Copies of this chain bind each other. A is one copy, B any other.
Amino acid sequence: MGHNNAANHADDSRSKRQQILDAAYEVFSRKGYNRATVDEIIALADTGKGTVYNYFVNKEQLFYTLIQERNQPFEKALIKMAESEKPTMEKLETMVKLFLQFYMENADLYRVLMHEIRGLSSDVLSTVKPELREKYREDFTRSIGMLGKVFKEGVDRGLFRDIDTNKASFSLFSVIVTFAFQKFVDEDINATAHLITDVFLNGITQR
């Protein structure tokens, strides 16, 4: 690897494209979408400004790519679990754990994304174009939908009350994200996943 532009810089064996993505992740996470500048990204990626535009049509699409590459493996794991043959309760707790892990790992980036996306209701939007926004939103919807699927299964099997599974899944999702973003998760992520699931299933009332 790196056997020839040997001259300067520690030859970075990641492809230029990956260097840029890594740097972009860093900068977007720290600064948010607007405050992140292409200048800062290329400085960190140790590349030229034009190079960014060779690989990505613009800043917006760079951000989009970043999200997609993070989201896909997560989503795949989620689907796999949701569609497995495990008991409903176990599925749920495992999925809570997957969510927790993912949002803790990507806390800063997703904080940013969630603003750009869920933030703005609809109309006049110069920066993030509607098409993209819709795609982002679909990512969320699909992930949260996996929770919904499990809730439906539980209701069908008579395990859960006859709740609105959509509301339930958004609620559970919001709680998980809150734990991730507020750093409520301590050493033991399993315990935390269990806690959340338990309260969601049984409530906080003393019996």
Residues of A near any B CB (own CB < 8 A):
29-32, 34-35, 107-108, 111-112, 114-115, 118-121, 123-127, 151, 154, 158-161, 163, 167-168, 170-171, 173-175, 177-179, 181-182, 184, 196, 199-206
Residues of B within 8 Å of A182, CB to CB, are 170
CB proximity of A6 to chain B, nearest CB, Å:
24
> Quick check: B181 and A167 within 8 Å, CB to CB?
no
Of the A-B pairs whose beta carbons lie under 8 Å apart in the complex, a sample of 21, sorted by A's number, is: A30-B124, A32-B115, A35-B124, A35-B125, A35-B126, A107-B121, A108-B121, A111-B121, A112-B120, A115-B119, A158-B206, A160-B204, A160-B206, A161-B205, A170-B182, A171-B175, A171-B178, A174-B177, A199-B203, A200-B203, A201-B203
